[in-house]
């Protein structure tokens, strides 16, 4: 793997470091045992000197830019606030959406782009941005949990010309809690750089590091082209 994104680390420090195989970039919140986003970049993919980073929303939104010779890669790792349906929760989530919206708006369109993490929000079918409303769970098609600000998330995809890769094809459950499941983690990329291979998401539900308990997330694995498709001059899809 070239890029690994882990959210809800609950670590209390923000830092960067390296070892023989990986570069690590972590952002933390000011709340104890809350939030935390970690991005790991394989050194075989990019040297530490090629990496730039910014704590857009500490512990919630982190931006890493992999500087290339001809084209750079922008990576956004995100962790949305849990939807508690309280006034405070609604305000926190809106701050997250606004921050993410502003951040994407200022990224160069010429760069490759990946945004992934726990959005704590579902998506409904709307081509070409979202594939399906339901996903496969225990041999059934279910919609999972619904969120009040789902349209806010959906509008962000439309506005920036993004597609949720894990909503196409054999879309599956991502967060499992006992007999219930939902699809709240997503991998986003631009429509102009998305192909059929990118939509073939692998669900690592049998990986050794997945906890054997009643409540856990299922890691997602995907393959995205290193070389961006030819940049399109026409306006973004509407």
Q: Tell me, yes or no, whether 201 lies in a domain.
A: yes
Q: Tell me, yes or no, whether 148 lies in a domain.
A: yes
Residues 199-217 have pLDDT tens digits of 999 999 888 988 888 889 9
pLDDT band at 238 (very low <50, low <70, confident <90, very high): very low
CATH number of the CATH domain containing 12: 3.60.10.10
Q: Tell me, yes or no, whether 173 lies in a domain.
A: yes
Q: Tell me, yes or no, whether 235 lies in a domain.
A: no
| pTM > 0.85 | yes
Residues 46-100 have pLDDT tens digits of 999 999 999 999 999 999 999 988 889 999 999 999 999 899 999 999 999 999 9
The DSSP bridge partners found for residue 16 are 25
Q: List phi, psi (to 5°) of 160.
A: -100, 5
Q: Tell me, yes or no, whether 159 lies in a domain.
A: yes
Q: Tell me, yes or no, whether 38 lies in a domain.
A: yes
Contacts of 201 (CB under 8 A, 6+ apart): 165, 166, 168, 169, 171, 172, 187, 220, 221, 222
Q: Tell me, yes or no, whether 228 lies in a domain.
A: no
Residues 130-154 have pLDDT tens digits of 999 999 888 889 998 889 999 999 9
Among residues 88, 155, 87, which one has the least CA distance to residue 121?
Answer: 155
Residue ranges making up the domain that contains 41: 3-221
Q: How many domains does the chain have?
A: 1
Q: Tell me, yes or no, whether 238 lies in a domain.
A: no
Q: Please, are residues 77 and 46 in contact by the beta-carbon 8 Å criterion?
A: no
């Amino acid at each position: 793997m070239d890029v690994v994104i882990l959210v809800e680390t609950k670590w209390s420090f923000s830092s960067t470091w390296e070892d023989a195989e990986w570069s690590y970039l972590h952002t933390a919140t000011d709340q104890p045992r809350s939030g935390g986003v970690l991005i790991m970049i394989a050194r075989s993919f990019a040297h530490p000197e090629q990496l730039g980073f910014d704590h857009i929303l500490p512990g919630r939104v982190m931006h890493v830019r992999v500087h290339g010779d001809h084209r750079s890669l922008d990576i956004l790792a995100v962790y949305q606030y849990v939807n508690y349906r309280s006034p405070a929760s609604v305000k926190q989530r809106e701050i997250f959406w606004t921050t993410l919206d502003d951040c994407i708006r200022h990224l160069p369109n010429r760069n490759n782009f990946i945004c992934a993490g726990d959005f704590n929000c579902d998506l409904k079918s709307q081509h070409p941005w979202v594939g399906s409303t339901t996903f496969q769970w225990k041999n059934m098609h279910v919609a999972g949990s619904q969120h009040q600000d789902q349209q806010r998330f959906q509008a962000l995809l439309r506005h920036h010309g993004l597609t949720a890769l894990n909503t196409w094809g054999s879309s599956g459950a991502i967060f499992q809690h006992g007999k219930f499941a939902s699809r709240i983690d997503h991998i986003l990329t631009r429509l102009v750089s998305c192909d059929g291979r990118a939509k073939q998401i692998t669900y690592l539900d049998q990986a050794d590091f997945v906890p054997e308990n009643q409540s856990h997330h299922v890691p997602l694995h995907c393959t995205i082209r290193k070389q961006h498709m030819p940049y399109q001059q026409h306006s973004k899809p509407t």
